Chain A
C-alpha cells in the first residue's frame, strides 16, 4: 500500500519567517497530494492541494511543490502569522478507481511571536 512519510514532526518558526514541511510517498501511481490543517480542538481542513500534472501551486502565503521523479512534495508558508500555528498533514491518494487518501504523521507548527 501507499506509504507517506512527513518531516519534521515539530517545527517552531519566528513570526514573519518561512516554514517548510516535506513529505515523500511510495506509490508512483499517486496523482493527488493535498495538505490539511488542524487547529487545536478543530477538524482537519483542506488548505491546498496539487495534482500530478503540475509542479507548483500557490495560494497567497502558502504554496505546494511536487517532484514526481523523486516522489516528494512540500508545503511552504511565507510571512508566517500566529494563526498559522496548527498541525499540518500531507496526504497522497491511491489511484485505482477509489479515492482513498493515506496521510502523513503530521507536523506541529508553532509560530513564535
Chain B
C-alpha cells in the first residue's frame, strides 16, 4: 500500500517566517507534486518533480520553492510566509509509466497552514 507522509498536519506561522513542508513517499515513485487546496478553487499545482534534483513550476509557483535531494523526499519552502498562503497543502506522488501515460496520484493527508 502506497504511503505518502506529510510531516505536519497543522502549522501556525507568522508573516515573514520561513516555512518548510516535508513529504516522504515509500513506493519508489519517480514523480512528486505539491498542490494547494482552497475552497472553490480546487487543487492547484505549485511545483512538481520527476527526478532527484529536478523541478518544474506548476500553475502557481510564486512565493514558493522546492527541494528534492532524495527520491523519496520532496520539500515545499515558503521563503517568507504571507497571509494569502494560508491554505491546505497536499503532497502527491506517482509512478513513471510509459511515455504519454499518466499514472495515479497518491496523496498525503495534507498540511493545513495558517499564517497570522
Binary CB contact string for chain A from 70 to 92 against chain B (1 if under 8 A, 0 otherwise): 00000000000000000001010
Contact (Cβ within 8 A) B90 A49: no
Given A31-B100, A49-B104, A44:B50 Cβ within 8 A: no
Contact (Cβ within 8 A) A43 B40: no
Is the interface on chain A under 10, 10 to 19, 20 to 34, or 35 or more residues? 20 to 34
**B94: nearest residue on chain A (CB-CB)?**
A99
Q: Chain B nearest CB: distance from A90 CB in Å?
A: 9
Q: Could you say which of B42, B97, B100, B102 has the most chain A C-beta atoms within 10 Å of its C-beta?
A: B102
Contact (Cβ within 8 A) A100 B43: no
A110 interfacial contact with B, CB 8 Å: no
A18 interfacial contact with B, CB 8 Å: no
In chain B, positions 87-107 with a C-beta closer than 8 Å to chain A are 90, 94, 96-97, 99-105, 107
Can you report 16 A-B residue pairs in the complex whose CB atoms are below 8 A from each other? A9-B40, A36-B105, A43-B109, A43-B110, A44-B90, A45-B107, A97-B100, A98-B50, A99-B31, A99-B102, A100-B45, A102-B45, A103-B35, A103-B42, A103-B44, A105-B41
Q: What are the nearest 8 A-B pairs in CB distance?
A: A105-B42, A103-B43, A43-B107, A32-B102, A93-B102, A99-B102, A103-B42, A46-B104
Binding site for A on B (CB under 8 A): 31, 33, 35, 40-45, 48, 50, 56, 58-59, 90, 94, 96-97, 99-105, 107-110
